[in-house]
Amino acid sequence: VYGDTNSTLAAALAAAKIHIPICHVEAGCRTRSMANPEEINRICTDHVSTLLLASTQSGMDCMAQEGLSSRGHLVGDPMYDAFLQYSHALKGSFLLEQLDGAKCVVPEDFYYLTCHREENTNDTSLLEIFKAMDSLDAPVVYPVHPRNKARAKRLCTEKRFENIILAEPVGYLESLYLVNHAKKIVTDSGGLQREAFFAEKKCVTVLDFVCWPETMINGRNVLSKPKAEAILSALGEEQRVDPDYKPFGDGHSARKIVEYLEVYGG
């Protein structure tokens, strides 16, 4: 099982109850916030798993604190493997399907926004996020989460936000293109934070807790409240990229995962 979704925990619990060994990839991640629904999934999945494969050293450290070290191994992040493999699979720009049915080419200069968490999709928070995005010096591409479509369209119409391109959800390759070509990124996604880090793009994360402490250095990923002024201030902070800093492995974590499975399986 991979990650921290409800289906991850469901599969782990089902396997544990019928005595099937479980390997948890991306083990040991912790936000230290029980208000974060995925935190419960992470903790429970780790504690019923047989083999714990961590993406980062911080994951190993968290496992040690919970007495899980004997089952843990550091393999790196398979998301980094995928990023390296597929970043240039999409050649050239592509058409965005907008919520109003029109289509447009991805602008040459743009910011990339994703926003889907419940705490950021109420009227108050989303309005503040949109205020910040509308004031930027280039268009903002926002593939809208299905839960947010009606609210996003209404706010953009009522407040006449013309700098935000409301688009239908995009596929993985399209999202990688947007990550790699954006000026900067604003998100509340744990995965997109890492992809921004891999692409050496400045990222502002609109959350109250740290998902990936490895990214929170040298101004590369900065937490922000859902307030326009705070988001713009965070975007204005310069980042410094150290090319030798590789906390997510060497891009060969999938091979290491398979090797551990082979050893365990005998």
- Catalytic positions, please? 116
Host H or E run for residue 167: strand 164-167
Question: How many angstroms separate the CA atoms of 194 and 214, rounded?
Answer: 9
Listed residue (58, 50, 63, 43) closest to 260, CA to CA: 50
Would strands 51-54 and 185-187 be described as parallel, antiparallel, or unpaired? unpaired
CB atoms under 10 Å from CB of 179, counted, come to 23
CA atoms of 61 and 81, how far apart (whole Å): 22
Q: Return the CA Rg of the chain.
A: 19
Tell me how far apart the alpha carbons of residues 17 and 204 are, in angstroms, rounded to a whole number.
Answer: 41
Q: Are 77 and 56 in contact (CB under 8 A)?
A: yes
Give the contacts of 83 (CB within 8 A, at least 6 positions apart): 176, 195, 198, 199
Q: Which of 39, 48, 42 is CA-nearest to residue 15?
A: 48
Interatomic CA distance for residues 24 and 49, integer angstroms: 6
Q: How far apart are the C-alpha atoms of 226 and 115, rounded to whole Å?
A: 11
Cβ-based neighbour number of residue 208 at 10 Å: 14
